[in-house]
Amino acid sequence: MFKFLLTFLPLLSGSALAASSGETAGLLLGLFWVVLAATLCGALASRLGMPAVVGQVLAGLLIGPGALGLVQADDFLLSLAELGAVFLLFMVGLETRFRDLLAVGKEAVLVALLGIILPLGLGLGFGLWQNLGTVSALFVGTALVATSVGITAKVLQELGVMDARFAQVILGAAVIDDILGLTLLAVVSGLGTGQSMGAAQVGLILGLSLGFVALVLTVGLPLIRRFESRLRSLSVSRMFNVAVVTGLGVAALSTVAGLAPIIGAFLAGMVLAEVKDELEFESKVQALEAFLAPIFFVVVGLQVDLSVLTSAAVVLAGGALTLLAVAGKVLGGLLGARSLGQEALLVGTGMVPRGEVGLIVASLGLAAGIIEGPVYAQVLLMVLLTTVLAPLALRVLVRRTAVGSVS
């Protein structure tokens, strides 16, 4: 029976149906498999006491090309996944007030800076130890710098600790980490293609990114308070539309500034958080996010090519790289957030998942010829392990911390 299913299921894959019944039918069936796998595996993970996101990432591995081969990460699913990440961070922003981030500003900056410097140095050293060129080794370090705030944010949401001080430090550090990390990626990619990157160009990239964040907050926060009375006259459905348009618009603008759209979405949510208590639209945004966010996590799993992990040498080197990746972020959290006491370990652990950000960095390096197949496979294994294991560790640590504080 199981062999029959393995033979029959690929016939119902998105690609097969697209060839026989049209592209739309294939896209819909691919989406069906993704949503079904996310629902079942997410629920199973929750029943086993694990974060749902772990089950959803593993669902992508299960239905992807490396296992059942039901779905491939085509442009349609990649676009939906990015939309899922946008609304996930928009929802996280709605649960975060700017004044709360300001209260942890010092710790967030320190965690972000150390979470870039330490992994970058460790990755660079690892690459040089493997006799890679300087630029290739620097790219490995850049892959270690990446942080997937979406994965950590979802775990924090599930645990109901978004208001905790350590969670605010993680979110603040992740925003700074993304800005500096993307700047670093642009510089290293330029070096890999033979471009000369001067201090002026680096400063321009960084200035545009920081300027965009400052502009959204300094303009958006006073503006939302000024129009709050008018917004109260809108129906829930219309206010929901206003919120969605705002989130998508700021997310789109963030790409112009060289930032990931999730940063813009997070900032937009944080602006609207100032009026969410007076305007009942949050539940509708949450419903939309509950549908789209699991697609994002499944597609993260879909993009992992398991075939590159068959070499023992790759597995050993990838395991060593994973240890360095974890050590860099955890140590950055322990040192940067040491004022939080035992919660500093939670901060460091929350910065560990590389997720889709690590996959993007690795893919860019491979496509540009900066890193080759074996190194790409090592980075891929590091991304997979940090994405799956870090949420598990974070859940255990949050519960132990909560028990310790009660006792």
Task: Give the separation between CA 206 and CA 202, rounded to whole angstroms.
Answer: 6
Cα–Cα–Cα angle for 64, 251, 268, nearest 5°?
Answer: 120
Q: How confident is the model at residue 8 (pLDDT cuts 50, 70, 90)?
A: very low
Burial of 224 (0-12, 13-18, 19+ CB in 10 A): middle
State the average pLDDT over residues 34-48.
92
The distance from CA 144 to its chain's CA centroid, rounded to whole angstroms, is 14
User: pLDDT tens digits for 77-118?
Assistant: 989 988 988 898 898 788 777 777 777 778 888 998 999 999
Q: How confident is the model at residue 346 (pLDDT cuts 50, 70, 90)?
A: very high
Instruction: Please give the single-letter amino acid code of residue 306.
Output: L
State the average pLDDT over residues 52-79.
88
Asked whether residue 334 carries a pLDDT value surpassing 90, the answer given is yes
For residues 200 and 348, the model is more confident at 348
Asked whether residue 4 carries a pLDDT value surpassing 50, the answer given is no
- Please report the pLDDT score of residue 151 as a whole number: 79
Q: How many residues does the chain have?
A: 407
User: pLDDT tens digits for 239-261?
Assistant: 899 999 999 999 999 888 777 78
Written as one string, the DSSP assignment of 162-204 is: TTSHHHHHHHHHHHHHHHHHHHHHHHHHHHHTT----HHHHHH
Backbone angles phi, psi at 319, to 5 degrees: -65, -40
User: pLDDT tens digits for 174-230?
Assistant: 878 877 777 777 777 666 666 666 667 777 777 877 788 888 889 998 998 888 888
From 111-120, 130-139, 186-195, 321-330, the region with the lowest mean pLDDT: 186-195
The percent of residues above 70 in pLDDT, for the chain, comes to 89
Contact (CB, 8 A) for 164 and 339: no
Q: Within 13 A of 234's CA, how many CA atoms are on the CB side?
A: 18
- Please report the pLDDT score of residue 376 as a whole number: 82
Asked whether residue 322 carries a pLDDT value surpassing 90, the answer given is yes
- Please report the pLDDT score of residue 6 as a whole number: 45
Asked whether residue 9 carries a pLDDT value surpassing 60, the answer given is no
Task: Give the separation between CA 357 and CA 177, rounded to whole angstroms.
Answer: 12
**Domain covering 82-398, topology:** Na+/H+ antiporter like fold (1.20.1530)
Instruction: Please give the single-letter amino acid code of residue 362.
Output: A
Domain borders along the chain are: 82-398
- Please report the pLDDT score of residue 139 as a whole number: 87
- Please report the pLDDT score of residue 13 as a whole number: 53
Asked whether residue 404 carries a pLDDT value surpassing 60, the answer given is no
Cα–Cα–Cα angle for 58, 61, 66, nearest 5°?
Answer: 160
Q: How confident is the model at residue 236 (pLDDT cuts 50, 70, 90)?
A: confident
Q: How confident is the model at residue 1 (pLDDT cuts 50, 70, 90)?
A: very low
* CB-based contacts of 78, cutoff 8 Å, min separation 6: 299
Written as one string, the DSSP assignment of 269-338 is: HHHHTTTTTTS--HHHHHHHHHHHHHHHHHHHHHT--GGGG--HHHHHHHHHHHHHHHHHHHHHHHHHTG
- Please report the pLDDT score of residue 2 as a whole number: 36
- Please report the pLDDT score of residue 7 as a whole number: 45
What number of helices (H) and strands (E) belong to the chain? 19, 0
Selection from 193, 161, 218 nearest residue 405 by Cα: 161
